[in-house]
Amino acid sequence: MSKEQHVSELNAPSSPPHIICLHGPWQYEPVALTQLGPSGESIDLPGELPPQGTLRIPSDWSATLGSEFRGRVRYKRRFGRPSNLDADEQIDLILHEISGLATITLNGSHLRETKIGELACRIDVTSLLLARNELEIEVNLPRGSHDIAVGGIVGEVQLVISQVSR
């Protein structure tokens, strides 16, 4: 099984998985105002940023940053490693939907990036989890991304523990 797969490509586990929802609290911090450049790249802009705060996921950023905000926002969530795992169990991080581009990091290790319009991703994080963990998701919705009304982590973020044959 590859390190990452789209949720729709996965086979059903042999027994029902245990799901841990990472609703919150999440810390969020606006990092930069951004816009799309001539070749589609994201360009940082000068300007005053809204204040940082906490929220629960799933949530777009309209209530905290305003529906007109276009830029890069860093979301952080700390959590403990699930306990009492069997040797044949795997822990996957599932992100169901992010509105914008995203960079996903766990404990400082880059996991992957998502594109605008990508719905869900699943990443095996079993070997990366520590006793205490920090998940960071940086979401970027640049000005000029006309297809999307507002940015943020708009789908569930879950840890899914399932039995696998290794």
Burial (CB count <10 Å: 0-12, 13-18, 19+), residue 41: exposed
**Distance separating alpha carbons of residues 65 and 48, to the nearest angstrom:** 12
Which of the four pLDDT bands, split at 50, 70 and 90, describes residue 166?
A: low
pLDDT digit string (tens) for 148-163?
A: 889 999 999 999 999 9
| Higher-scoring residue by pLDDT: 10, 19 | 19
| Higher-scoring residue by pLDDT: 52, 14 | 52
Backbone angles phi, psi at 65, to 5 degrees: -115, -15
Backbone angles phi, psi at 55, to 5 degrees: -160, 175
pLDDT digit string (tens) for 108-143?
A: 999 999 988 788 899 999 999 999 999 999 999 999
Q: What percent of the chain has pLDDT over 70?
A: 91
Q: What percent of the chain has pLDDT over 90?
A: 77
pLDDT value at 10 more than 50: no
CATH 2.60.120.260: does it fit domain 4-163? yes
pLDDT digit string (tens) for 28-70?
A: 999 999 999 999 899 999 999 999 999 999 999 999 999 999 9
**Domain ranges in the chain?**
4-163
Backbone angles phi, psi at 9, to 5 degrees: -90, -5
